[in-house]
Structure 1
């Protein structure tokens, strides 16, 4: 069996190198019949030997490490499609595999074209461009902190799982804004177990970097509970915790082929942020673990620029760095206000939205498109309530989002309650502060 696995690995690496060259040539090849491939991704996937092709695509994906590499997302889409196929074909021709990746590329372009009416308006200056990348995921900061000290991270997770330490004691809120809020027990415990397994495998696979490698069926890692009972995680847990039947290879980059599971140190490390975000999304902890830290982050930014800032609860109590203050208004508060900030003559009313960017692109598009008014409508009502409670006009109302990189034309600022990223808000505040300093110097 060991020689068979070695043969599969060697062949996959050779085929992956050749497939990468074929895909590279196709970028400039004008003779490729695009119409022949368009809409045929499922048909092509059904004709290919998925056991062979999945490991090859995994190796190609592992080699494409630049986030801007254009073929990278389409290789993943082809891999996801192969994993979904109920039956395997027989073709092991690299040209067929290249055709599948190309067809997935064309399918993605078709999806984007279909969504264009949501992103665009009749005025071309008001078109919206949305970019979602791994770097923009809320949990990326936690993942980077985990990888900064892998051994220390594993020890900390082991202590949490043994119920000897609270996550907030082992992981600082500064370096782990979300993991520090994740409970040690209850519905969060499977997340900690899977995280311990992933980090253990990253160490085990490090000597094989930068290639993919098979995971031995003899692999095991263990830890002990406070009662002395051992918890053993082995090959069975790899297949149950690290392989997904859904379209989630970015979160579960493990492929079963030739009687072994295949992945790489890099792919597992790269999957930490999307997997952690998706795992938390499936629990009831998202509000506390993901959304609240983002609101706190926005509040801290405004306070650092001299604002008195904080949330206003449904009863009208405004909590700032100065304490609590009850805001009085004859009308009922339309709901919690994520951030109310005042400074001198400035009044800002902000809604904070942490986007689940691992969700379906159409759902994201409908929330962020120019003609989606639910967030803006709610914010308008809250702004009107604040103006009546403070007896003054609000200068600015914004929907601040995380989880995406969103670029909009300045024309959107002529509308109501623009939608911006946290980074854009920070840049605006810095620019305003610089302008104020220049005015005083003048």
Structure 2
């Protein structure tokens, strides 16, 4: 699907207007679904272009639509070129001939923060639990084995999240029962407009009040929670956001696949958490706790530091009989006055006498790529680093000793830079894990002593 000439947005709209969307949408959805296969890495490269083509077909004014394969190939090619131009415009600092300073920005489904929770729900879907959550039950009690969803507050205000998850998993179960083609997860399936009336998975259940309740869905719910028409047509917004809506409308119904339904669970949850301003409590705070736990597993004493200088160390005893250095650092921070901002992780290694400072950044890749890229651009990353350096200087002035290593821990997007990367470094989750586990033993001593 290569093209000798670049096509602009106008070309995309012009080509899309000449194509019968009822004919083309199932083909494009089939390509998208097939690209999710583990052995389809080459096809996966065209996934953003396929998504753009779907949006173009929906938003174009169709005059005299036809069913030309060459026109459809031309549309996908134009969308691929359009996507390439878009990447170049929003990620200029990631494209350089200087291999010593080049970088790569990657976002994949399994790298999404909510992917582990989504996998747990899909592995053993409890529709009764999701139905109860949609009716106001406590997520912490019903989903204790999840990392993020258990942090969603209780109450009817959050019903839309659970209704959306319920619908996705209910559709999977329903299709597995009645459609022989679902033996192939990537196979395209047609759903009639009123398919949701067949959901009788949780007809009723008893609540504590002794009453019975059930989930009821209508066409408006499908449009709001599942229909890809809910996604706007702005450049960049039709990637992860489109992934969150797995039903693609055609005359008389929708086309989808089991793979698309499964793949929509984590993006839907992430979009919804952001919309409801729950990103910090459900995603960012657990990531900070994870980083602290990683330090502790390598023999560090670690915790956050408030703007007032309180070093939160959980169960660590800071009475005078505790480690002298830990107590000294804690008291020095408390007496230093207001800090330049909350410090996510300050970690002390008693065995080696090392002090480390870490800022945690949890990027929501379900926003458009430009938003995500801005967070990692030279300008914004410098802002991250500038703020962290101010915190480092405040700690060093308060404690009268240097901070030995300062870095930014990143999740949600894989961000690789060369060895020439600036200080403080930006480390994704995998690199952070290797940094700590490969260098320190569980008791905090260095695995390889200097000069050994």
TM-score clears 0.5: yes
Instruction: Choose the corresponding residue for 2:5, options 24, 30, 35.
Output: 35
Aligned to 2:325: none
Per the alignment, residue 4 of structure 1 pairs with none
The alpha-carbon distance between structure 1 residues 176 and 224, as it changes in their structure 2 partners (threshold 3 A), is same
TM-score by length of 2: 0.83
Q: Do structure 1's residue 126 and structure 2's residue 101 form an aligned pair?
A: yes
Cα deviation, 1:209-258, whole Å, max 9, x if unaligned, reads 23222224143344457332433125542233211242332110201212
Shift of 1:356: 1.3
> Which residue of the partner structure matches residue 385 of structure 2?
376
CA contact (8 A) 2:134 2:158 kept: no
Q: Which segment drifts farther, 401-410 or 369-378?
A: 369-378
Q: 2:148 aligns with which of 178, 197, 203?
A: 178
Correspondence for 1:328 among 331, 334, 348: 334
1:335 Cα offset (Å): 1.2
Partner of 2:321: none
What do you get for the CA RMSD once the two structures are aligned? 2.5
For 1:356 and 1:229, locate their aligned partners in 2 and report how far apart those are by CA, in whole Å. Answer: 35
Mapped pair 1:361 → 2:354: no
* 1:195 paired residue among 159, 165, 180: 165
* Cα gap change, 1:438 to 1:36, in 2 (>3 Å): closer
Partner SS for 1:159: helix
The answer to whether structure 1 residue 137 and structure 2 residue 112 are counterparts is yes
2:418 is matched with 409
Any idea what SS the aligned residue of 2:270 has?
Answer: helix
Secondary structure of 1:356's match? coil
Q: CA separation of 1:225/1:88 partners in 2, compared to 1, >3 Å: closer, same or farther?
A: farther
For residue 381 of structure 1, give the secondary structure of its aligned residue in structure 2. helix
- Indicate if the aligned counterparts of 1:45 and 1:82 stay in contact, CA closer than 8 A: yes
Alignment match, 1:291 = 284
The counterpart of 2:139, out of the listed 161, 167, 174, is: 167
Within 2, Cα distance between the matches of 1:86 and 1:301? Answer: 54
Which position in structure 1 is the counterpart of 2:87? Answer: 112
Greater Cα shift, 111-120 or 183-192: 111-120
1:432 matched to 2:439? The reply is yes
**Counterpart among 122, 131, 152 of residue 158 in structure 1:** 131
> 5+ residue gaps in structure 2?
233-237, 319-329
Aligned-pair CA distance for 1:440: 10
Q: Is the 8 A contact 1:128 1:370 kept in 2?
A: no
Q: Output the CA distance in 1 between the equivalents of 2:164 and 2:90.
A: 35
> Does residue 385 of structure 1 match 2:394?
yes
Structure 1: tracts of 5 or more residues without a match = 1-25, 28-32
Deviations 1:152-198 (A, max 9, x none): x32321233344x52112212xx411111112314321111111111
Structure 1 residue 120: Cα displacement? 5.3
What secondary structure does 1:54 align onto? helix
Alpha-carbon distance change, 383 to 278 in structure 1, aligned in 2, over 3 angstroms? same
Is the partner of 1:231 in helix, strand or coil? coil
Corresponding residue number in structure 1 for 2:266:
273
Aligned-pair CA distance for 1:329: 4.3
Query: Retained in 2: the 8 A contact 1:347–1:396?
Result: yes
Alpha-carbon displacement from aligned partner over 1:396-433 (angstroms, at most 9, x marks no partner): 11111110111100101xx3211111211111112212
CA contact 1:128–1:369 (8 Å) conserved in 2: no
- SS of the residue corresponding to residue 358 of structure 1 reads coil
- After superposition, the C-alpha distances for 1:337-358 in whole angstroms (9 at most, x for unaligned) are 0111111211111111110112
